[in-house]
Structure 1
């Protein structure tokens, strides 16, 4: 009996150990699977709430390390995050088709940030750090239609909490967190809100994320220095054409433009030099001729898309191809040559449907340029310096940085630290066109005396900067209305616009790219743009004095944002308010172009860039 009892005890002990081991393995597998899907289980007790995990997609060359209360990210090996992601894209490592379908706002810059707050959840998800992968792009039109889910998961179930912030009626903010695979991330700094060294901590962090900062004053110096590459033109004799001599004459007239007083159709404080702009614009209207290449098959070429975040490239294509005033059929009579492709359609057709490789997009454009070189002599004559295009997709700079670098590149993602050439390239505004038939619909806002909100922001939490903005300012003070994404319904969009019309300042924080459509939206609703995007070259930088009607805040100064805005004198604010109304016409597309509208301003930027390159031989 004793022997049998011992055998039963041994058997029971082995069974207990086996069951315990099996449970441990199942728990570990459950944790691992939840981590891959963007969640984690923080407790085995069904009565406790789990903490939110916020995820932005991360490059595979980072590793996950915890420090203090937050997970943060850093580039590895002396490279910043955008460089690492670019290497990953160029090497063909991005295979996620859902990721490929989004703009570089959503993906291609590859900034990934993971933040997990270790304090307990209070007051019905009081402050969310939620980030999620978006569907279509970072448009302000869709800012009211983007939703993010904040999930507080437990082992017994999952609680989805919606946070609503009313303006007058209805609810606008729906916060959530969707699942997203966590790649390897390297920790850079610990961050505690309202700590004494916030500014220095953020400065180190953003420097790791996007590299060195080129200040606005440095950009101005680049502009004054002029383009690095110039074209020498003889006044007479062989070697120069009639168009060359016209460009040289225009260049000299612009440089020697007399000072004009009381220009009735222009508000002088908006411009760097209103006399130079007036002379240049008048010469453009009188002289400029553009040849549009007929080569290229639809839908990548000659097929404008007039809606969406990248509508600017479509509207410009439609209006320049339909312009009898500026276009010519004989390329020998042209001053500029337009390459009529859509970077958005190129990405959709080739990347999503065929290749999953950014290199193939660049190769496609290389073949197109080679075709142009073989059929025409004009590219080889100037090295492409008199050719131009508009590429508003976020990958535009990347797919044109080599074989098309000699062109005048019209880019929405105008990052001076990533190859944008101030003085040669053109910064095109990101515009979301709501109505082609009535482009001025719903433009305007409340008078300054009725704007009771100091600052407003709402939108997807793309990139490394916007989560920091919300971490510092969401629900902190009553006059700072800082939210995440808004609901998709009509009411949410209406309330979004009402916030803009009721705010003194509208925060235009970068996403994955340096540009954001909130800049133009702010101008439409007469809300002073507060641009928080280091290295961003604002549209028409060569002409407009942006500091006359906008505020620029460095990314490292997010902790001091409210103090910076409160320090602006009321008189200066009122001046900017007046100027913002005057500058609106430069940012509106019209089906039939009007003087000084967005079509003419964009075309003028290409014209001005070209004449700035011309020098007498």
Structure 2
């Protein structure tokens, strides 16, 4: 009998041990799966929600809560500005007088000058190949690169070279890269004018594979106006038009993130400025903190960011501050593909061969984005060179100093004088000039470059350190002139040295190029929407290390 009782006691004890082990395991699993919610709550604490009657608000998702007016504390407290207190300016039809002073151009501050705890640049490496996983760029450019306005700056390495774990998606990308590297030669394609491209064969094959393979997942998180709110008017319209067309795309967008090759962070840098920048504060720290917390929330909620440390994610930002707002999140700054209008290689943020130089397109009437497209033929362009605009930045005052009122062939103005505009408007000047001078303003890019293309005027680009739009695939030497800032005194000599035959070819190339810079309500093959998406796809493939 004692033995029987002892046996029962042992059995009971074993049952209790097993039950305790099961409960411990369940508790551990619950804690593990609760981690994303914990991080989301931390994000919510940084951006407390307030009551909203809007259809997009939600108390469950911290990013769907309206922006709080609660102050940040980072050395100095800075209050947030609700969107309603920072109304969007209405750009004037008179582009040369007002456009580049609209929006935040007058809020320009030297990057990081007044910002405490700014991050120092990462160690530099000498060549692009080392910065992109020791993999060579796709294809062999068929034309020499346009002479850079200055020697390329060394660029920081990526934080992550390979995905933490592999997936079938990686195999598809490696297949695409191998196919592009062995692209068949293309001759006489009626849709693609070969001189416009560094290597038309590589571009065509890459574009075909993009259309066939590429799938993009768009994160749903984020409340308007910063997220999912495209601004379609003004000088920052590129980011808004891309967002609108990307979110409507049935061809490229997938609902299952497990099938995606790329992940789109659907925020507007312009709306970010409207919502969070405090006028006259001279700090963009609140914007940087917001993006840092946004990315941290996504990386806690989903596994996709962590798999590549953000290397397969991208965002599109045309606002001047687009690069600077990434500085508080190392992976966002160094790994993510940044499509930026402010493509300046001198500041260590834009990485050539990984990031995308985004065209800055000034849209006056969103319902008529192609209004006034076209210009006079070369034989009817009587003005050698034309520029009119605001005097900001380091280049434009020098341009006026040497050429304003000095030479009848060089129509160089500040604001276009009324007595001149009464005879020939700004747009008519561009349609009647051989060369349209496009000097940098506060930052390296200018909407004049695309405007020149629209009006079939050969652009003359003066902006040292500027990576030209779609530079990875386009041969800018075929349709533009790049002038070093130090050569402004020789500007007429440089332009006059281009023979009439050379000029006619360049001007015809501008006309052929036009289709690649046009926005359409419904995207068309090879238009600007597809060119932006292709450049993002192409540069992502440049980061892929092909397994032998």
Query: By how many angstroms is 1:256 displaced?
Result: 1.4
Q: Determine whether 1:500 maps to 2:453.
A: no
The residue number in structure 1 matching 2:230 is: 304
The residue number in structure 1 matching 2:345 is: 416
Residues 245/453 of structure 1: CA separation in 2 closer, same or farther (3 Å cut): same
The residue number in structure 2 matching 1:594 is: 524
Match of 1:529 among 438, 455, 459: 459
C-alpha deviations, 1:219-249, integer Å up to 9, x for none?
99979x998677548xxxx942121111010
C-alpha deviations, 1:390-432, integer Å up to 9, x for none?
1111011111134111100010010011121000000000001
Residues 493/410 of structure 1: CA separation in 2 closer, same or farther (3 Å cut): farther
Query: By how many angstroms is 1:434 displaced?
Result: 2.5
Residues 470/348 of structure 1: CA separation in 2 closer, same or farther (3 Å cut): same
Query: By how many angstroms is 1:326 displaced?
Result: 0.5
Q: Determine whether 1:440 maps to 2:366.
A: no
Q: Distance in 1 between matches of 2:208 and 2:531?
A: 12
- SS of equivalent to 1:615: coil
Contact 2:376 2:431 in 1 (8 A): yes
- SS of equivalent to 1:520: helix
Contact 2:292 2:328 in 1 (8 A): no
Query: By how many angstroms is 1:91 displaced?
Result: 8.3
C-alpha deviations, 1:103-122, integer Å up to 9, x for none?
xxxxxxxxxxxxxxxxxxxx
Query: By how many angstroms is 1:143 displaced?
Result: 1.4
Match of 1:560 among 490, 495, 502: 490
- SS of equivalent to 1:264: coil
The residue number in structure 2 matching 1:373 is: 299
Residues 219/327 of structure 1: CA separation in 2 closer, same or farther (3 Å cut): farther
Q: Distance in 1 between matches of 2:352 and 2:298?
A: 26
For structure 2, the residue ranges without an aligned partner over 5 or more in a row are 1-73, 108-144
Q: Distance in 2 between matches of 1:473 and 1:383?
A: 50
Contact 1:139 1:432 in 2 (8 A): no
Residues 220/485 of structure 1: CA separation in 2 closer, same or farther (3 Å cut): closer
For structure 1, the residue ranges without an aligned partner over 5 or more in a row are 1-89, 103-134, 149-178, 181-214
The residue number in structure 1 matching 2:277 is: 351
Residues 552/464 of structure 1: CA separation in 2 closer, same or farther (3 Å cut): same
Contact 2:390 2:414 in 1 (8 A): yes
Match of 2:243 among 310, 313, 317: 317
- SS of equivalent to 1:396: coil
- TM-score, normalised via structure 1 length: 0.64
Which has the higher mean CA deviation after the structures are superposed, 470-479 or 353-362? 353-362
Contact 1:301 1:341 in 2 (8 A): yes
C-alpha deviations, 1:438-458, integer Å up to 9, x for none?
332211111111111100000
The residue number in structure 1 matching 2:501 is: 571
Match of 1:427 among 351, 357, 360: 357
Contact 2:385 2:433 in 1 (8 A): yes
Contact 1:227 1:612 in 2 (8 A): no
Query: By how many angstroms is 1:530 displaced?
Result: 0.3
C-alpha deviations, 1:198-231, integer Å up to 9, x for none?
xxxxxxxxxxxxxxxxx954699979x9986775
Match of 2:176 among 250, 256, 267: 250
1:40-439 alignment to 2 at 5 Å?
142-145=95-98, 216-217=146-147, 231-232=161-162, 239-352=165-278, 357-403=283-329, 404-405=332-333, 406-419=335-348, 420-439=350-369
Which has the higher mean CA deviation after the structures are superposed, 307-316 or 490-499? 490-499
The residue number in structure 2 matching 1:153 is: none
- SS of equivalent to 2:438: strand
* CA-based RMSD: 3.4
Q: Distance in 2 between matches of 1:423 and 1:474?
A: 38
1:461-480 alignment to 2 at 5 Å?
461-480=391-410
Residues 492/279 of structure 1: CA separation in 2 closer, same or farther (3 Å cut): farther
Which has the higher mean CA deviation after the structures are superposed, 487-496 or 392-401? 487-496
Match of 1:548 among 478, 488, 501: 478
Q: Determine whether 1:605 maps to 2:535.
A: yes
- SS of equivalent to 1:484: coil
- SS of equivalent to 1:616: coil
